[in-house]
């Protein structure tokens, strides 16, 4: 089936539903050409989950059900294609929330049966990792990838599509989790990362002395749980824990901005230091940054500067493709097809993998 898909022009539909974003996209593959994004559409559930301070899995699944069909119609309309034009249906197989994943997988399978087209289950992190190939300045293999999302923080050596070696990862919280949990303690809305980094612009990086656990360890692993605890300790000391009103108080806001800036500086410094260590250890020059935290401007500025100093390059996905989306799922499937690595399944036999190691694929 794979060789058949490698011939001629093919259309891949991508479906992402692993967490709180429903993403659909159409990517075209032609032999000898890079995959081309024809259309993508996204519905973010952020507003819905905000009231609960985090993702409510059952609500997420129900909302994916509501959104997936209209979004599929939208991308087909945008690309001027019809359902019968689709050659392969790619869906996020994992990791992620089981119920949310099942909605995307179930939709993909139903469509596959109806159209008699094959399915391909894609690893969510492979989608993130390959997403810079849709940018105007795509990387070339091999490179080191820093994957920084809400659930994962990993450094990988990437030698080609499907050739991923884990170099290091977090032993506790993910970088996105460190942003989100610290922000929540400060009374900022969910998801905390973007809110915290916006507030940090008003503050001083060195106002609070926060820990950078494992920054100088000999390996390429990370640890962020101690940072969150330090943020909590500072807030408890000031009597401001989980206090949403503090931000509106003109006397407190600069102090919270200082805490936000110091938190961001600690996370970014560790990520930069370890990324550079990974480049040094592998002898590679190119770094790819992917996942939601890759949208952080401070991280981008510091990585660019550090890479420039050692004559290397950093590649990012387009800003709107940093967080979860269907384009990266369609792209990963397309690149697997082009590399001859895709093993599409018959639509009647789909599954999901809520826990799934990228290095194992
Ligand atoms: O990749 P992603 O959309 O979802 C997962 O697969 O987890 O990443 C979401 C994470 C959240 O933790 C969010 O707070 C963080 O990315 N994030 C940011 C920024 N934008 C998103 N963190 C720091 N600064 C940002 N600008
Ligand atoms: Zn993600």
Question: Which SS3 state, helix, strand or coil, does residue 353 take?
Answer: coil
Looking at residue 1, its pLDDT comes to 47
Residues 6+ apart with CB under 8 A from 70: none
Residue 209's SS3 state is coil
**Strand (E) or helix (H) holding 262:** helix 253-282
Task: Name the pTM for this structure.
Answer: 0.94
Is the distance from CB of 92 to CB of 122 less than 8 angstroms?
yes
Kindly give the distance from the C-alpha atom of residue 328 to the centroid of ligand 2, in angstroms, as a whole number.
10
Task: Give the ligand with the smallest distance to the CA of 181.
Answer: 1
Fold matches, 2-131+322-360 and 140-316? yes
At residue 76, the pLDDT reads 98
> What is the pLDDT at residue 3?
63
What interhelical angle do 192-200 and 297-309 show, nearest 10? 70
Say which ligand is closest to the CA of 192: 1
pLDDT tens sequence across 42-70: 999 999 998 898 899 999 999 999 999 99
Going 74 to 77 to 79 to 81, the CA torsion angle's sign is positive
Q: Name, in order, each residue with C-beta under 8 angstroms of 39's C-beta and a sequence gap of 6 or more.
A: 25, 26, 74, 75, 76, 78, 79
Evaluate the omega torsion of the peptide bond into residue 142 and state whether it is cis, within 30 degrees of 0: yes
Does the C-beta of 191 come closer than 6 Å to ligand 1? yes
- 20 C-beta closer than 6 A to ligand 1: no
CATH 3.30.420.40 fits 140-316, yes or no: yes
C-alpha 33 – ligand 2 centre gap (Å):
26
**pLDDT, tens only, 84-139:** 999 999 999 999 999 999 999 999 999 999 999 999 999 999 999 999 999 998 99
In what order do the strands lie in the sheet containing 88-94?
36-44, 21-29, 10-16, 88-94, 119-123
Q: What is the CATH number of domain 2-131+322-360?
A: 3.30.420.40
C-alpha to C-alpha distance for 94 and 356, rounded to whole angstroms: 6
Q: Which residues have C-beta under 5 Å from ligand 2, the single-atom ion?
A: 149, 324
**Angstrom distances, CA of residue 350 to CA of 89, 104, 112, 338, 344:** 11, 11, 10, 22, 10
177, 189, 323: residue to mutate for ligand 1 pocket, most atoms within 8 A of CB: 323
Residues of the chain with pLDDT under 70: 1-3
Task: Determine if ligand 1 sits within 6 Å of the CB of residue 194.
Answer: yes
Q: Where are the domains of the chain?
A: 2-131+322-360, 140-316
Distance between Cα 128 and ligand 2 center (Å):
7
CA distance 209 to 1: 57
CA separation for the pair 200, 267 (Å, rounded)? 12
From atom 21 of ligand 1, which residue's Cα is the shortest distance away? 292
């Amino acid at each position: 089936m794979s060789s058949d898909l490698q011939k001629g022009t093919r259309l891949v539909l991508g479906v992402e539903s692993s967490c709180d974003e429903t993403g659909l996209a159409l990517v075209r593959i032609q032999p000898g050409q890079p995959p081309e994004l024809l259309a993508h559409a996204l519905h973010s559930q952020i507003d819905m989950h905000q009231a609960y301070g985090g993702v409510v899995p059952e609500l997420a699944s129900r909302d994916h059900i509501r959104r997936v069909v209209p979004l599929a119609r939208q991308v087909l309309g945008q690309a001027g294609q019809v359902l019968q034009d689709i050659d392969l249906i790619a869906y996020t197989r994992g990791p992620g929330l089981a119920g949310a994943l099942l909605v995307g997988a179930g939709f993909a399978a139903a469509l596959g049966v109806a159209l008699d087209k094959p399915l391909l289950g894609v690893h969510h992190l492979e989608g993130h990792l390959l997403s810079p190939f849709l940018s105007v300045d795509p990387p070339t293999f091999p490179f080191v990838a820093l994957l920084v999302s809400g659930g994962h923080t990993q450094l990988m050596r990437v030698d080609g599509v499907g050739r991923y070696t884990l170099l290091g990862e977090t032993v506790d919280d993910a970088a996105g989790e460190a942003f989100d949990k610290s922000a929540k303690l400060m009374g900022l809305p969910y998801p905390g990362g973007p809110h915290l980094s916006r507030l940090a612009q008003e503050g001083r990086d060195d106002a609070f002395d926060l820990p950078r656990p494992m920054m100088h360890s000999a390996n390429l692993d990370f640890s962020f749980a101690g940072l969150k605890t330090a943020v909590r300790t500072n807030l408890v000391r000031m009597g401001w824990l989980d206090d949403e009103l503090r931000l509106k108080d003109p006397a407190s806001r600069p102090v919270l901005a200082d805490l936000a800036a110091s938190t961001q500086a600690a996370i970014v410094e560790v990520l930069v230091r370890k990324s550079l260590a990974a480049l040094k250890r592998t002898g590679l020059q190119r770094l790819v940054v992917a996942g939601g935290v890759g949208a952080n401007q401070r991280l981008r500025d510091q990585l660019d500067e550090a890479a420039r100093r050692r004559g290397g390059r950093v590649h990012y996905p387009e800003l709107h493709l940093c967080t979860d989306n269907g384009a990266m799922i369609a792209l990963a499937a397309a690149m697997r097809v082009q590399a001859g690595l895709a093993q599409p399944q018959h639509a009647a036999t789909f599954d999901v993998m809520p826990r799934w190691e990228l290095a194992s694929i």
